[in-house]
Chains A and B, each alone.
Chain A
Amino acid sequence: MESPTTQNEVQFSEAAMAEIRRYISHYPAERKKSAILPVLHIAQAEFGGWVSPQVQEKVAEILDIQPIEVFEVASFYTMFNLKPVGKHVLEVCRTGPCMLRGADGLIEHLENRLGCHVGKTSPDGLFTLKTVECLAACGMGPMLQIREKYYENLDPQKMDQLLNDLSKA
């Protein structure tokens, strides 16, 4: 009998595997490890918005490296969540230019509205609230990122509308 944590449980979809192979082909054959960041992005999108130790092992297996090498990288870069997250991860920019245009107020509003502090997930499990550093949207702040999309020039009203839309989605 297999234990529930064996790496066999982690299976990428065919589409994801094709995308992974495409990335691996971009680098010299003996430099497969170069594909680690793209593969981690694909893995995170594929497996619920975070990269579990099992997923990291699978990534290591695909790239012919040790699991510790994957952890070393996944823990260095801020985009990879190493713990489970809510259905939607809100990544609010907190850096200077956004702060000047109201990011602090937006973050406070989100904490109140979601009933959780920064770094936590709302009690209904729908939203994880993260603050991040500069996202190259300084003229359009305050702003946040959800998956691959930027939401810019936000204020509390627009934020509420967005949360309502996401809750229904």
Chain B
Amino acid sequence: MGLKILTEHINVPGIDTLETYRKLGGYRSVEKALKTMTPDEVVEEVKKSGLRGRGGAGFPTGLKWSFLAKPEGKPRYLVCNADESEPGTFKDRVLMEKIPHALIEGMITSSYALGARTSYIYIRGELMFVLRILEKAIAECYAAGLLGENILGSGYSLDLHVHPGGGAYICGEETALLESLEGKRGNPRNKPPFPAVWGLYGCPTVVNNVESIATVPWIVNNTGEEYAKIGVGRSTGTKLISAGGHINNPGVYEIELGLPVEEFLFSDEYCGGIWKGRKFKAIVAGGSSVPILPGELFLKTAEGTPRLMTYESLSEGGFVSGTMLGSGGFIVMDDTTCIVRNTWNFSRFYHHESCGQCSPCREGTGWMEKILHRLEHGHGHMHDIDLLVNVSKQIEGNTICPLGDAAAWPVASAVRHFRDEFEWHVKHPEKATAAGAVYSGAEDLAFA
């Protein structure tokens, strides 16, 4: 059993109430930070911790905080990104649903560090039932003097509000989220200026993921130095992994970064191996946006080194033979999975979710979806496969926000690693479209 920073008490009955949460040590970081530390000292601890943004990008949280502009006469905002929409990812939802106070405590301590007097939790609108859980917990905090005027007599005041989205993946991108919070369509903004200078209502703003913010209390209580001792190298601390797909034990697991990938996937403590006694074919390890990898390249690098659950180890080999830890959304595929169908499904997702601002993404995601649809349905041509890669390359890097890259990478990597399966769809459309048929590596695949 590894160290649990966020989920130690997740199964304790009543942990969603302030009373139980506090009894188990909750809100100590608020006391400590507000009464014994300056805001800059809190920022310094988070910097020392090496905590990296848990939403997917992995940018150091402390560094992001230190960029926040502090002009006179302008409010500053902390906005929590709880718009968890990356396919394969459901960790933030589970954390907020089970231990809402973990996020709220983090919001108070972090808001203090950043000098915010009003903070928002932007939660995806579909999670209205989680919004209600958060609002109940926030009301408990106001009643207990943990929110509102003069928190615990410290002189610091904070208002915290939850804001529901309306159903749009793009609002997970921080500038789209801010547009949405201002009551507009979720069109990402051009950067610079970054939100640290020009964020919500044109004021300096920090946007952080739920898990990142919920980690801050432990760092404040135990020091950044202690946090940095957990993990391996630049991958410090623990990480929530959402595990789904064809595994025996789907769910959310908190792991210490540095855990061997094989142990996570196959031990009964975590995923419990591939379901139905089948073989491990492929995985998308960091949410749908990261490159897909064949099973063997996921467990070991191209050089044969066993991979670890760290940002660095999973990306070893670059996009040729590696992937990314991303949001920690594990989508595991067994040997009955059709890679073409899966890639088509993902492309349809990105086409559906493109905001339409940049033509390469608006048009390109639709073209990729169409090409993949005809390949999957037995109407593809051999030149479609290169066309697909070509389109993905023209989207990548040519858009305002990373949705374009996120749409391009799954397609390019699927063709890179599973080209023979795409070719099989073109050569044997009658087999490829038959119910239950899956390419098994043999050209003359016979099936019942």
Binding site for B on A (CB under 8 A): 26, 28, 31, 33-38, 40-41, 63, 72-74, 76-80, 94-97, 99-101, 132-141, 145, 148-150
Contact = CB atoms under 8 A, between A and B. Distances in A.
Contact of B345 (A40, A41, A96, A141): A96
Contacts of B429: none
Interface of B: 84-90, 92-93, 120, 124-129, 132, 159, 161, 163-169, 180-186, 201, 242-246, 250-252, 284, 288, 329, 331, 333, 337, 341-342, 345-346, 349, 352-353, 355
A100 B242 contact: no
Nearest to B341: A99
Given A136-B89, A138-B90, A77 B129 contact: no
Q: Is the interface of B mostly helix, strand, loop or mixed?
A: mixed
A133 B349 CA distance: 7
Nearest to B159: A26
Given A134-B86, A136-B124, A138-B89, A96 B250 contact: no
A73 B180 CA distance: 9
A34 B181 contact: yes
Given A99-B345, A136-B127, A150-B129, A77 B88 contact: no
5 contacts: A28-B201, A96-B88, A97-B244, A101-B246, A136-B127
Given A79-B166, A100-B342, A138-B87, A37 B252 contact: no
A137 B181 contact: no
B355 to A, nearest CB: 8
Contact of A139 (B87, B181, B201, B252): B252
B182 A34 contact: yes
A76 to B, nearest CB: 4
Nearest to A135: B126
B124 A100 contact: no
A76 B186 contact: yes
Of residues A95, A96, A145, A149, which shows the largest number of chain B Cβ atoms within 10 Å of its Cβ?
A96
A145 B163 CA distance: 20
B345 A138 contact: no
Contact of B182 (A31, A74, A133): A31
Nearest 5 interchain pairs by C-beta: A77-B166, A139-B250, A79-B167, A33-B183, A78-B167
A37 B166 contact: yes
A33 B179 CA distance: 11
